[in-house]
């Protein structure tokens, strides 16, 4: 049985649309799509669930043979129980080296039979002396809404120098060309289209029009004859369909709060969780009506925060080893393992592992009595 893994503190993305449309079921598209957009969503689901083979482009290095292999529980677009290995090296002076010349930043865990026969390896070799990090597969619900939140909105919550003195100093990660990152555990990818496209290349070894060349094997070229498919191994039209499926996935609806949950929501705010997990964001201008000017109960600021030495692992882009983005985690009630690497078996344990900027909220949580802690749990389990 597959389990979904999510980090804490927690993110729920709830679309607050207009009109009388029914609440979407898990795995449904957003409300207010046009007929053509709904067709893109349906066609995209087929691409998302397509299982590739070596003959159709899989590998020769890969982590999964389909998007739906890692994002399947409880429906297509959900989470999965797979774990990835990421590597990076923090250089003197603070720059982050993704060690791409030695196979980074993702070390693929599977190889095709042809590559195994050629090199005798079961997975990509990880370079010695380079720090590693484990990453679990998050769900993708509501990601299109997060993509539609403006950079101005994200920056409005940034306080890199902690000028207000509350101990929280969220800051954006930025790409090499200066755009604000919002996807990935450390917010290294700025746009959902890029996030989706790179997943084909990095996770499945499927070359795409933007990146038509296979990755190396630990920095070494791929041996001749092990990759029979012509590059690029997926065309732009199929990529756009898969992107539409992820972009239009509706966020899970929260459960109705009872009196315990209502009290727990107040506890959530009182102990400071809402300072990073901003309850509501609003999307900006967008050519797609379903994504434009929507209130999103996101419970995130999409910023990087220092989470302390115990959770620190590797750098990524401009994110230091201890910095992580406030995680957008929808459908918390479906999750059984928590944090970016799945180390926490419960919400309670995940909270207790938080440090750095979350230390004060963690201490306040630990000082709650049993009734208050149970109320908070009732609220979180409604998400």
Angle at 259 between CA 258 and CA 264, to 5 degrees: 95
According to the model, what pLDDT value does residue 99 have? 96
For residue 298, give the DSSP letter.
-
pLDDT in tens, 8-59: 343 333 333 333 445 678 999 999 999 999 999 999 999 999 999 999 999 9
According to the model, what pLDDT value does residue 332 have? 81
> For residues 231 and 214, is the Cβ–Cβ distance under 8 A?
yes
- The tally of domains found in the chain comes to 1
pLDDT in tens, 76-121: 999 998 999 999 999 999 999 999 999 999 999 999 999 999 999 9
d(CA 188, CA 190) in angstroms, rounded, equals: 7
Mark residue 16 as left, alpha or beta (left: phi above 0; alpha: psi -120 to 50; beta: remaining). beta
Q: Write the burial class of residue 302 (CB in 10 Å: 0-12 exposed, 13-18 middle, 19+ buried).
A: buried
pLDDT in tens, 285-314: 999 999 999 998 889 999 999 999 999 999
Residue appearing with tokens 């370079």: 127
pLDDT in tens, 128-160: 999 999 999 999 999 999 999 999 999 999 999
The verdict on whether omega for the bond into residue 375 sits within 30 degrees of 0, i.e. cis, is no
Give the CA distances from residue 43 to residues 61, 77, 143, 238, 250, in Å, rounded to whole numbers and listed in that order: 27, 14, 18, 9, 16
Angle at 334 between CA 333 and CA 337, to 5 degrees: 100
pLDDT in tens, 215-262: 999 999 999 999 999 999 999 999 999 999 999 999 988 889 999 999
Residue 333's contacts (CB-CB under 8 Å, 6 or more residues apart) are 255, 381, 382, 383
For residue 319, give the DSSP letter.
B
**What DSSP element (H or E) covers 96?**
strand 96-97
For residue 90, give the DSSP letter.
E
Q: 131 in helix, strand or coil?
A: coil
pLDDT in tens, 329-374: 677 888 888 999 999 999 999 999 999 999 999 999 999 999 999 9
Domain hosting residue 253, numbered range? 5-380
d(CA 269, CA 37) in angstroms, rounded, equals: 37
> For residues 50 and 69, is the Cβ–Cβ distance under 8 A?
no
pLDDT band at 3 (very low <50, low <70, confident <90, very high): very low
Q: 211 in helix, strand or coil?
A: strand
Q: In the structure encoding, which two tokens stand for residue 364, read together?
A: 């306040």
């Amino acid at each position: 049985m597959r389990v979904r893994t999510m980090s804490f503190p927690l993110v729920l993305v709830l679309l607050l649309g207009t009109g009388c449309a029914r609440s979407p079921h898990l795995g449904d598209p957003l409300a207010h799509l046009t007929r053509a957009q709904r067709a893109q969503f349906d066609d995209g689901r087929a691409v998302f669930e397509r299982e590739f083979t070596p003959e159709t482009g899989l590998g020769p290095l890969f982590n999964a043979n389909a998007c739906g292999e890692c994002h399947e529980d409880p429906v297509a677009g959900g989470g999965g129980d797979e774990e990835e290995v990421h590597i990076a090296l923090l250089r003197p002076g603070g720059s982050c080296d993704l060690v791409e010349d030695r196979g980074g930043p993702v070390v693929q865990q599977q190889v095709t039979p042809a590559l195994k026969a050629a090199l005798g390896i079961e997975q990509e070799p990880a370079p010695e002396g380079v720090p590693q990090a484990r990453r679990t597969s998050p769900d993708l619900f509501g990601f299109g809404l997060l993509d539609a939140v403006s950079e101005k909105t994200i920056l409005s919550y940034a306080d890199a120098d902690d000028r207000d003195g509350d101990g929280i100093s969220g800051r954006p990660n930025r790409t090499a060309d200066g755009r604000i990152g919002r996807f990935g555990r450390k917010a290294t990818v700025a746009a959902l289209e890029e996030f989706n496209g790179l997943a084909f290349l990095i996770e499945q070894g499927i070359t795409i029009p933007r990146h038509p060349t296979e990755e190396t094997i630990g920095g070494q070229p791929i041996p001749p004859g092990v990759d029979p498919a012509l590059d690029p191994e997926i065309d732009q039209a199929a990529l756009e369909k898969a992107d539409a499926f992820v972009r239009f996935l509706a966020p899970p609806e929260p459960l109705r709060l009872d009196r315990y949950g209502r009290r727990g929501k107040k506890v959530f705010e009182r102990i400071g969780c809402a300072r990073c997990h901003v309850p509501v964001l609003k999307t900006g201008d967008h050519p797609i009506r379903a994504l434009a000017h929507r209130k999103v109960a996101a419970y995130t600021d999409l910023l990087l925060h220092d989470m302390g030495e115990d959770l620190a692992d590797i750098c990524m882009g401009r994110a230091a080893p201890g910095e992580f983005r406030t995680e957008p985690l929808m459908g918390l009630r479906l999750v059984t393992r928590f944090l970016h690497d799945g180390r926490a078996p419960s919400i309670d344990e995940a909270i207790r592992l938080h440090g750095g900027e979350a230390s004060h909220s963690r201490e306040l949580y630990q000082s709650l009595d049993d009734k208050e802690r149970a109320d908070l749990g009732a609220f979180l389990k409604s998400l």
